[in-house]
Every structure is written in C-alpha cells, then in structure tokens.
Amino acid sequence: MSLNQKDLEQGLAAYKKSRKRELLRMMLLSALGIAAFLVIWQLVVQFKLVNVRNLPAPSKVVETILYKISNKNPDGNTLGTNILASLQVALSGFILALVIGIPLGLFMGWFTPVDKFVRPVFELLRPVPPIAWIPVVVVFVGIDLKAKATIIFLSVFVPCVINSYTGIKLTKRTLINVAKTFGAGNFETFIKVGIPSAMPMVFTGVRTALGGAWSTLVAAEMLAAKAGLGYMLQVGRNVARADVVVAGMVTISVLGALMALVLGIIEKRVLKWKLER
C-alpha cells in the first residue's frame, strides 16, 4: 500500500469521526432545546402566568398520555386506537397522493403535451384549500374512511406535483445533451437522467406533503369520526379538557417527527449518489 493510499484512508477515517462528533453535538443541542422549552413551559404554568385550565403543565400532559394508553375516557377510545385510526387515514391519503402526484409532476415537467393537457386543470384546482373540498367530498364519497383519505389526498397531492415538476425542469441541459449524444432517446433520457436529477426536489415535496397530511388530519376527522387523534382533540375541546387536547397535539407531533425520520432514512438510501455538503 502506497503512502498516498494510507494518507487517504486516514483522512477518510478522521472525516467520518469528525462527522459523528458533529452529529452527536447537534443531537445534544436539539435535546437541550426541547428540554429548555419544557422547563420554561412548566415554570410558566407553575407560577400561574397563564390560566392552568387553558394551558396544562407538561407533567399533566404526560400524565394524561399515560392515562389514555389504557383508558377510554373522555372520547371512548384508548390512545392506541386513536393512533391506529389516524395512521390509517393519514397514510391512505398520503401514499395515494405520492403514487399519483409524483409521476404526474415528472411527466408534466418533461413531456410538453402532457403539461399543456393537464396544467390548465391543475392550476384551476390548486388554489382551492383542502378543507373547502369537505362538502363536495361528503356528497360524492360519503363520510367513511374514503372521504377522510380523500381530504388528506387533496392536501398532499399539490406539493407532490409542484416539486416533482420543478425538480425535473431543473435537470441540467448538459446532462440531457450527453445522454442524447450517446444515443439515448427522449424516454430513456427521462428515466436515466431526468428522474434521478429530480429526486432531491421530489423528496422536498414529500416532506412538505407529510406536514400537510398531518395538519389536515383534524379537519378530515371532522367527518363523523368515532376514533382518531383529530376526534380526540375535538372531544377534549368540547368537554373543556385542555390536557386531552394538548396530549393529542403532542402525539400528532411525535408521530409526524417519527415519519419524517423514516423519510429521511429512505432519502439517504435513494440519494446515495448525492455528495454530502
């Protein structure tokens, strides 16, 4: 082994070690930020700077979450039942929007006839808020799981299309010309050059869509729901249980963070070719 190879391996090992230290430091900093937020929240409630009926202490929220794990009051469901119901609704609409929205955006961005055919309709529907579709969905779909998933779908579909469209539009012309120089046709260039180039923007759209799915969840579960985190929030509000409302909000935020973490792992695996900055 040459001296240069040894130096290269040592440098690579040192780089990986420094990256791990930096990652650990950032994780500790994030943990400290969360801890500081919780301490300030606890102190604000403890010193009665706000009405306890309106803002329960973190300790009370944790107590309510632990209580809801095995108890059904006040909404008639345990926390696990509500989580499973919400995941079913959120993931149904979310996955359907990804399956339809991402390919549609890619095709619109690459093939001009598809863009000219679809874009006018898309631009007419895009400004309409997802919640505004609720009366229409109730009339045509009903009030079951399909209706709730449709509301989630409408909130997720738009960012998937827009980011996929933008990502493939940003494909470097140099890469396209090189592919064509080596004899690749338009569709082959689309598959081998356009789609990989668009992937960073596609994942950005998926991240945005994931947030949209959870933010629309409460509105979706207004449709005669009997279980779900959104339903739990509404019941907590109706019976003036701020601790139940905040416990539902915390659960939604934790689930959203876990799904974002899983999405980040998938993104790293799909975009292994992308150099780290």
pLDDT, tens digit, 9 for 90 and up, residues 166-194: 999 999 988 888 888 888 889 999 999 99
Backbone φ and ψ of 271, nearest 5°: -105, 40
Position 273 scores a pLDDT of 64
Position 269 scores a pLDDT of 85
CA angle 139, 144, 145 (to 5 degrees): 120
The span from the CA of 146 to the CA of 263, in Å, is 24
| Enclosing H/E stretch for 249 | helix 242-270
All residues at 6 or more sequence positions from 206 whose CB lies less than 8 Å from its CB, including other chains: 98, 102, 160, 163, 263
Q: Please check whether residue 258 is in contact with residue 247, taking contact to mean a CB–CB distance below 8 angstroms.
A: no
Position 272 scores a pLDDT of 75
Residue 213 predicted with pLDDT over 70: yes
CB atoms within 10 A of CB 154: 24
Burial label, 106 (beta-carbon count in 10 A; 0-12, 13-18, 19+):
buried
* Tens-digit pLDDT profile for residues 91-146: 999 999 999 999 999 999 999 999 999 999 999 888 888 888 888 888 888 777 88
Mean pLDDT of the chain: 87
Single pTM value for the model: 0.81
Q: Please check whether residue 240 is in contact with residue 54, taking contact to mean a CB–CB distance below 8 angstroms.
A: no
Q: Please check whether residue 231 is in contact with residue 143, taking contact to mean a CB–CB distance below 8 angstroms.
A: no
Instruction: Indicate the SS3 state at residue 272.
Output: coil
The span from the CA of 147 to the CA of 55, in Å, is 33
Position 143 scores a pLDDT of 77
Nearest to 248 by CA among 220, 227, 277, 276: 227
Category of 106 on φ-ψ map: left (φ > 0), alpha (ψ -120 to 50) or beta:
alpha
